[in-house]
Structure formats: structure tokens, C-alpha cells
A = this chain, B = another copy of it.
Amino acid sequence: MSSTCNHSYRGCVAGVPIFNHLEAEDLDEIMKTVHSSTYQKGEHLYHAGDTLGALYIVHKGKVRIYRMNEEGKEQLVRLLSAGDFTGELALFTNKKEEAYAEVVEDAQVCRITQDDLHSFLMQYPTIALKIMQEFATRLDTAETQTALFAQERVETRIAKYLLTCTENNTARLTMTKRDLASYLGTTPETISRRFSDMERSGIIQKQDSRTFLILDQVQLEEL
């Protein structure tokens, strides 16, 4: 069960890229209209088909955005953590939501209604700019992702993904391999095999189930 309250809780909004450039008094203004809820693992923020009237901003925890086709096959679209938002489709168009938002780590989520947001946009045009920045970036990511699916083999997709989450020659996965498979448009079995291949050929080395040492970055890059 999720619990709701609409007290002023500035932290929820202050940490979010869309708003964090505003002055303190403007933030407080916005906070007055924000509804904050906590959700537990397994709960959904929304389902496909819902007509959302609000923007959901994750303040704490993790939320899995996924789609499902007619046969029930899932595709992981995005994994939200603190500062990320969702629900923009129903907010800016009048389409129904096509994705599901499932809490995978106990979360605190702020909601801003469509009407409130629209009036903020008129009042603070810089917010619009921030949102557009976020949109443009996400659009680019989505199109890159599509191109990746369209023209690269699974091995290449994994390699590219690993590189995006590598720091100091160490790749730390933020999700299970099962979710990774779904995100990369393949199966857990194939993910497993490709990881084994890469270990066998000395490109990576398993540290623990979620951490891998990159032994040969050059080779990884040209997969």
C-alpha cells in the first residue's frame, strides 16, 4: 500500500533537475502543489491504459518503466532513480499511457498535476527549457537505442551497454541480468552465454554477480 500526504516537503522538488535552478521561494511555491507518496516494492505507479493527469518525480528508490506486447512479452524501457520523472506522455498529449511503472525499490514519489504544471510553465519559462532539455536527451537515447537494436548483434549491444556503466575499468550493473536482457531486447540465456564468452576470451572478469572488471577495453569497444 502507498501512503499519501501533501505537506510541503521541499526535498522532493529541490533535488530534481527540472526545478533545482529555481530560487528558494519559487521552490516553496511549487512545493505547495506537490503531492508526495511512498510506495513499496512491487507496487505500480500506473499501468498501460491509464490516463495520467500528473507528472511523477522519483525522489527516492527505483522505478522500472516497462512495456508489454500482446503476447505478454516485456521490454524494459527505463529504470528511474532519484531525480528522474515519468508520465509526460499523458501530460502533454491526450494519449493513454502505454507503459507500466513498477516500484522495484521502496520509493518516494512526488506528483504534480497537469494543471499545476501548466501554470508553472507559464510562470517560469525556464522550467520548460529544462524539461525540453530532458526530452531532447531522452529522445536521443531512445533513437540511439532503436538504432542499436536495428543494426547491432546482441554481443555489441552488451558491449556498448557495459561501456556506459564502466568507471575505473569496472562495470557495475544497476539491474539484474534478467532485466538487462529485457532492456537489450534479448533473453537471459543469451545474456548469460555472451558474458561467459567474454570472460572466456579475457575481455571481462566477474567480481561478483553485478560487478565486472574490464580487462580489455579496446576489444570490448570493437565488438
Contacts and interface: CB of A to CB of B under 8 A. Distances in A.
Contacts of A118: 129
Interface stretch (A22-30, A102-110, A136-144, A171-179): A136-144
A77 B125 contact: no
Contact of A75 (B88, B135, B150): B150
A132 B132 contact: yes
Contacts of A136: 88-89, 91-93, 135
Contacts of A133: 92-93
As for how many copies of this chain the complex holds, the number is 2
Interface residues on A, range: 35 or more
Q: Is the interface of A mostly helix, strand, loop or mixed?
A: helix
Contact of A139 (B75, B138, B150): B138
Contacts of A77: 143, 146-147
Contacts of A131: 132
A209 interface: no
A143 B140 contact: no
A121 B149 CA distance: 35
A202 interface: no
Contacts of A139: 88-89, 135, 138-139, 142
Contacts of A144: 67, 98
Contacts of A3: none
A152 B69 contact: yes
Contact of A142 (B67, B75, B95, B143): B143
